[in-house]
Amino acid sequence: MNEQQRKEANQIKQENPTDVKSDLDSNLDRLKNMESDELIGKYFQSTYEPPNLKKAKKRRREDVEIHYDFSIPAEMQRIGEGKKFLIRTYGCQMNEHDTEVMAGLLTEMGYETTDNTDEADVILLNTCAIRENAENKVFGEIGHLKPLKLEKPDLIIGVCGCMSQEESVVNKILKKHPFIDMIFGTHNIHRLPSLLKEAMFSKEMVLEVWSKEGDIIENLPKVRKGKIKGWVNIMYGCDKFCTYCIVPYTRGKERSRLPEDIIQEVRHLAAQGYQEVTLLGQNVNAYGKDLEFEYGLGQLMDEIRKIDIPRVRFTTSHPRDFDDHLVEVLAKGGNLLDHIHLPVQSGSSEVLRVMARRYTRESYLELVGKIRAGMPNATLTTDIIVGFPNETDEQFEETMTLVREVGFDGAYTFIYSPREGTPAAKWEDNIPMEVKKERLQRLNALVNEQAKQAMQKYEGEIVKVLVEGESKKNPDVLSGYTERNKLVNFKAPKSTIGKIVNVRITEARTWSLNGELVEEVAEVL
């Protein structure tokens, strides 16, 4: 149904209120009029363990179970034939990759993908909880989907991802948006086929959020977004508990995949012609700490660099766990690329202490020195939070001087956003919004200036670009990234897409480079 048809349908419904009733699933009406306690008590047949932040913090290192025997229940294997799904993804690369898994599950069930909400039979919102504005976007989208659900009662709408792990969010959906059909957590993705079945056949809201994590399901199907760059999880969860961060609660404890499973996945991608992999984890430098044998990110990278794939990246690093062995391995170069994203969060040791980052300004700078010594060509990017509770002007100035001293090529900068259940949320959010905004503006001006200067160094240089496709703004122009993660736009035949080519840089902008193709193919696998 297009926009016009939807408007007309709504008009007809408004003029004929009885039609509205008959159109709607009666269950939906019941749900709409209920209070959330009543809903939980009467309507949830599935396992309901409310997300419990206190409990998450007390978790121990129980054994991680690894499963290799996942399969889609027989009765769900063809349930999606002739139907379509749409997944909206918010937030980080971890979420993007989870979406690839959910797309894989739905595709195996016979569903096809669509990007038109009117055509979809299943809509999933894969949500992000990192800051309040991320959550507000999702609630806005939930509101937009309501008229569609009212028109199409058989449409299944699910909310999953990090927001589902938060008790307050689940309660808000129950109270304000009871037309949602399914809520499931980040540890329940592999349960999607069974949850969908329940939602379809029981016609009651399905809620499954496990506070318990620990299982790794190895053989889940995936439909990857492209055929050039692929994501590979190396670990799940985070045990750092930085005082501002919701991730250790929404993503659970650190669980590393076995090295052989990761290596096999990277080999498989290489064999399929992928040119680049990004190894993913919330805190990749803690990789291996929970394994039963001595193994770390350094060893893993040393294995992966031997695989015949042109480019390997990893994200996100934590300065505390970034050890000398990793620097040594990365210094070997080859397919290990010269770019490190190393979130610093603040340049003040005192703020870092209250953030529980477990490093100081001095030790961060020392690490930067080691990286620069081992990898003289490496570019560094970072994440910074401004306006953390009690951050003084002087402490903010320390962030400014650190940014200058390191000379980051880029930074993601954020205004502190209190997240319920984190230790920092109990402290007064006492930096006025105007001050936070002013600090952010000054920081961004510096970051932009440094980014531009870093770009200017490339003018006249020849760089290797992995061609990803047409540029977003102009289909006649192709774009891709350099080894050091700089976006380059240039004209070249479409046949270069998916290949690594040499490009001469003709013009530097703040966040991208313009160039011209030097020779058609620099490297082909």
| Residue 417 binds ligand 5AD (CB under 6 A) | yes
Sole window of 14-22, 74-82, 233-241, 430-438 interacting with ligand SF4 (rule: CB under 6 A): 233-241
Q: Return the residue of 122, 157, 354, 385 that touches ligand 5AD, per CB under 6 A.
A: 385
| Tokens found for residue 516 | 């011209």
- Looking at residue 73, what DSSP letter applies? -
Rounded to whole angstroms, the Cα distance separating 404 from 220 reads 44
| Residue 419 binds ligand 5AD (CB under 6 A) | yes
Interface with ligand 5AD (CB under 6 A), residue total 12
| Dihedral sign (CA 464, 469, 472, 477) | positive
90 binds, among ligand SF4, ligand 5AD, none (CB under 5 to 8 A by kind): none
72 binds, among ligand 5AD, ligand SF4, none (CB under 5 to 8 A by kind): none
Q: Return the residue of 13, 240, 257, 311 that touches ligand SF4, per CB under 6 A.
A: 240
| Dihedral sign (CA 268, 269, 270, 273) | positive
| Tokens found for residue 240 | 């750092």
In whole angstroms, the minimum distance from the beta carbon of 91 to ligand 5AD comes to 9
452: left (phi over 0), alpha (psi -120 to 50) or beta: alpha
| Residue 253 binds ligand SF4 (CB under 6 A) | no
Rounded to whole angstroms, the Cα distance separating 333 from 244 reads 35
| Residue 160, marked binder | no
Interface with ligand SF4 (CB under 6 A), residue total 10
| Residue 128, marked binder | yes
- Do 336 and 302 contact (CB within 8 A), yes or no? no
Of 215 and 420, which CB lies nearer to ligand 5AD in the complex structure? 420
| Residue 131 binds ligand 5AD (CB under 6 A) | yes
Of 112 and 323, which CB lies nearer to ligand SF4 in the complex structure? 323
Q: With residue 124 as reference, give the H or E element that holds it.
A: strand 122-127
Rounded to whole angstroms, the Cα distance separating 388 from 422 reads 13
Of 419 and 499, which CB lies nearer to ligand 5AD in the complex structure? 419
Mutual angle of helices 3-15 and 132-151, in 10-degree steps = 70
Rounded to whole angstroms, the Cα distance separating 274 from 224 reads 11
Q: Calculate ∠ Cα 433-434-440, nearest 5°.
A: 85
Of 64 and 242, which CB lies nearer to ligand SF4 in the complex structure? 242
Rounded to whole angstroms, the Cα distance separating 125 from 95 reads 11
Using CB under 6 A, which residues numbered 264 to 293 contact ligand SF4?
A: 282-283
In DSSP terms, 414 is beta-bridged to: 385
Binding characters for ligand 5AD, 321-360, by CB under 6 A (x = yes): ----------------------x-x---------------
In whole angstroms, the minimum distance from the beta carbon of 92 to ligand 5AD comes to 7
- Do 192 and 184 contact (CB within 8 A), yes or no? yes
**Residue nearest ligand 5AD, Cβ-based:** 383
Q: Return the residue of 229, 318, 361, 484 that touches ligand SF4, per CB under 6 A.
A: 318
- Looking at residue 63, what DSSP letter applies? P
In whole angstroms, the minimum distance from the beta carbon of 454 to ligand 5AD comes to 20
Cα→Cα distances 377→162, 186, 410, 454, 512, Å: 36, 37, 15, 12, 18
Rounded to whole angstroms, the Cα distance separating 471 from 477 reads 6
In whole angstroms, the minimum distance from the beta carbon of 344 to ligand 5AD comes to 9
Sole window of 238-246, 391-399, 444-452, 488-496 interacting with ligand SF4 (rule: CB under 6 A): 238-246
248 binds, among ligand 5AD, ligand SF4, none (CB under 5 to 8 A by kind): ligand SF4
Cα→Cα distances 81→76, 149, 157, 331, Å: 10, 21, 18, 50
Q: Characterize the bridge pairing of strands 410-415 and 478-482.
A: unpaired
Binding site: residue ranges?
92, 128, 162, 238, 242, 245
Task: Write out the binding residues for [4Fe-4S] cluster.
Answer: 92, 128, 162, 238, 242, 245
List interacting residues with ligand 5AD (CB under 6 A). Answer: 130-131, 244-245, 343, 345, 383, 385, 414, 416-417, 419
Q: What are the residues binding ligand SF4 (CB under 6 A)? A: 238, 240-242, 245, 247-248, 282-283, 318
